[in-house]
Amino acid sequence: MKEVSFIWVLLMLLRSSSSAVNPCCYYPCENSGVCVRFGPEDYKCDCTRTGFNGQNCTNPEFWTRIYLMLKPSPTVVHFILTHFKWFWDLVNKTFLRGTIMRIVLTVRNELVPTPPTYNTKYGYLSWESYQNTSYYTRLLPPVPEDCPLPMGTKGKLVLPDVIMLTERFLKRQKFRPDPQGTNLMFAFMAQHFTHQFFKTSHKSKGGFTKALGHGVDASNIYGEDLKRQHQLRLHEDGKLKYQLISGEMYPPKVSEVPVHMVYPEDLPAEQRLAIGQEMFGLLPGLSMYATIWLREHNRVCDVLKAEHPTWDDEQLFQTTRLIIIGEIINIIIEEYVQHLSGYNLKLTYDPSLLFNVRFQYTNRIALEFCHLYHWHPLMPDSFLIDGDEIPYSQFLYNTTVLVHYGVEKLVDAFSRQPAGQIGGGRNIHELVLRVAQTIITEGRSARLQPFNQYRKKFNLKPYASFSELTDDTEMAHGLEELYGDIDALEFYPGLMLEKTRPNSIFGESMVEMGAPFSLKGLFGNPINSPEYWKPSTFGGETGFSIVKTSTLKKLVCLNTKWCPYVDFHVPGKEEEAEPRKPLMEL
């Protein structure tokens, strides 16, 4: 390995000494200008519609100058949205809530290009980048292949060893709970939800995805392709197949529904559950959510059949799937994203807010979004369920946990157990540290641009030093030693090591970069378009109401014998003392 690195360094030195450096390796174009090389040493920045001009797109036009003078910084906006609760309580009760939500959506949406622009193979616009959906798209083009250094023109000749980097800066030393109160119910939802569209093909180098869809399609429930879907369907009343255990509905066994699932070879056949996503037997928290959505699908089928006795199996299934997709989006926006943001503005799932503004109902998942969303610090050291402590060794691929405790006890336990803080570094359990190593390695293979370049793309001020990035002095010195220059810091390490906002789950960059991708993907779903967003799409007002009034608590409690504590936030004193509500009050 050392010999290969030495040869690579020698070749790069020879190349840089014998030919001119590609000027685009310096990232000269600011404010989203596009660098185009002309000849060995010349370049031009295309500043079209950036609001800037000049050689490097650094001179603001008149209206851009006015806009920049009036525009508050992301830090100021975040402070306003997370303080002055009395003010936001008033806003949330008036029409201003919808108006501000529309502004939030349009501002965030403008940061994600539609149609897509680049992929790993093409650092320039091409038809292949647009139409080949087997690629992840990407926000910034790759680092040019002929740059003298791995990250362009700054930093060291060789990037830090991945294993050493993660062991030193990402590996957990002591579990650090999230100060926002995030729990394991949130952590498992994050993993369950994102596996609809984050399905990287690790065998194919270059940022390929195995997912057929690029958004919320509930493929984690119904299967990625039509064959798997039909295997999971009961083909009666629109329902999915299931098994009854002690009178409760659970996913069927693989022996009865032979879909491909990833299980250890020595796992007994009766413990192998057949689920829409082949990896969801990995953790009981994922099979728990799979069970809840299975029950919800079949429950909604019963509701629709009662209203539409003439509908056949296919129409019941297809309409129920649309309702389930709507429920997912509603819960994610109004509870999941709401919790993450920490905003006092109450986020609302109202697609009609965008009907009169420029908005495209399409979505492509970006490689940067996929990398950004690897939040493994959320996982604890062990799992506390009904008075039992279960270590990782007994938790992985253990579907008996689901059946033994039941959905109610798992939901209650996961809602009460704190998850880890994502940002700040040194909080990933050693058993999942290899995932971070894979992400960093894939980022290098895809030649992702430096972290600071992404900061600029999202209108954030680039960090001037490692000590500005992190408030850990030892970490700052260590990163300086390994990377040599803050402008050579890689994308994923930058996100994970950045100092967190006060009492927050992660730092500024994760919020400001992740939110545009997330909201664009959620509201860009076709069910939110004017053609779809109407009662008839969901079987009438009853189905439409299920979508619009869905909550995490309803999802759980309408599908369980008793209603546990359920939330994305660990309970406070008031919630601990709150009596259980009957289902009719949900």
- Residue the block writes with tokens 């399409």: 362
Nearest to 392, CA basis, from 419, 427, 421, 432: 432
Specify whether the CB–CB gap between 285 and 399 falls below 8 A.
Answer: no
Rounded (5°) CA angle 536-541-542:
115
Q: Are strands 52-53 and 248-250 parallel, antiparallel or unpaired?
A: unpaired
Q: Which of 116, 85, 65, 167 is nearest to 369 (CA)?
A: 116
And the tokens for 142? 């790759």
Backbone angles phi, psi at 136, to 5 degrees: -70, 145
Q: Is 211 exposed, middle or buried (0-12, 13-18, 19+ CB in 10 A)?
A: buried
H or E element that contains 238: none
Distance CA 210, CA 20 (A): 39
Residues with Cβ within 8 Å of 48's Cβ and at least 6 positions away in sequence, in order, are: none
Distance of alpha carbon 290 from alpha carbon 328, whole angstroms: 13
Which residues, other chains included, contact 88 with Cβ-Cβ below 8 Å and sequence gap of 6+? 81, 343, 344, 345, 346
Q: Active-site residues: which are they?
A: 195, 373
Alpha-carbon gap, residue 389 to 195, rounded angstroms = 27
CA terminus-to-terminus distance, the chain: 60
Give yes or no for a contact between 322 and 527, defined as CB atoms under 8 angstroms apart: yes
The Cα 440–Cα 499 span in angstroms is 19
Q: CB–CB of 68/461 below 8 Å?
A: no
Identify whether the C-beta of residue 567 lies closer than 8 Å to the C-beta of residue 416: no
Tell me the backbone φ, ψ of residue 244, rounded to 5 degrees. -105, 125
Burial of 41 (0-12, 13-18, 19+ CB in 10 A): exposed
Burial (Cβ within 10 Å: 0-12, 13-18, ≥19) of residue 73: exposed
Helix axes 162-169, 473-483, angle to 10 degrees: 170
Give SS3 for 58. coil
The answer to whether 436 and 494 are in contact (CB under 8 A) is: no
Q: Residue 86: how many CB atoms within 10 A of its CB?
A: 8
Q: Hey, what are 426's tokens?
A: 């040194």
